[in-house]
Amino acid sequence: MKKALSLFLLVLLVSPAFAQETTQASTDTATAAQTVQDPAERNKMLYSLGFLLGDNLKRQLVLDNEDDYKALSQGMRDSLLNKEAQTNLDEYKPQIIEKYKQDAQIISQKREAEQKEYLENFSKEKGVKVLDNGAMIKLSKKGKGRTPKADSKVTVNYEGKLIDGTKFDSSYDRKEPFSASLAGVIPCWTKALQQMRPSSKATVVCPADTAYGNRPVGVIPPNSALVFTVELISIDD
**pLDDT per residue as tens digits for the range 39-89:** 899 999 999 999 888 888 888 899 888 999 999 999 999 999 999 999 999
At 2-46, the pLDDT tens digits run 444 433 343 444 344 444 444 444 555 555 555 557 889 999 999
163, 225 Cβ separation under 8 angstroms: yes
> Comparing 147 with 37, which gets the higher pLDDT?
147
Give the Cα separation of 138 and 170 in Å (integer).
19
Residue 204 CA to residue 226 CA, distance in Å, equals: 8
Q: Examine the pLDDT at 122 and tell me if it is beyond 80.
A: yes
Return d(Cα 186, Cα 208) in angstroms, integer. Answer: 10
pLDDT given for residue 4 in this prediction: 41
What are the residue ranges spanned by the domains of the chain?
2-86, 128-235
Beta-bridge mates of residue 167: 161
Q: Which CATH number is 128-235's, of 3.10.50.40, 3.40.50.2000, 3.20.10.10, 1.10.645.10? A: 3.10.50.40
Q: Within a 13 Å sphere around the CA of 105, how many CA atoms are in the beta-carbon half?
A: 5
Q: E strands along the chain, which residues?
A: 128-130, 136-141, 153-162, 167-170, 178-181, 201-206, 226-235
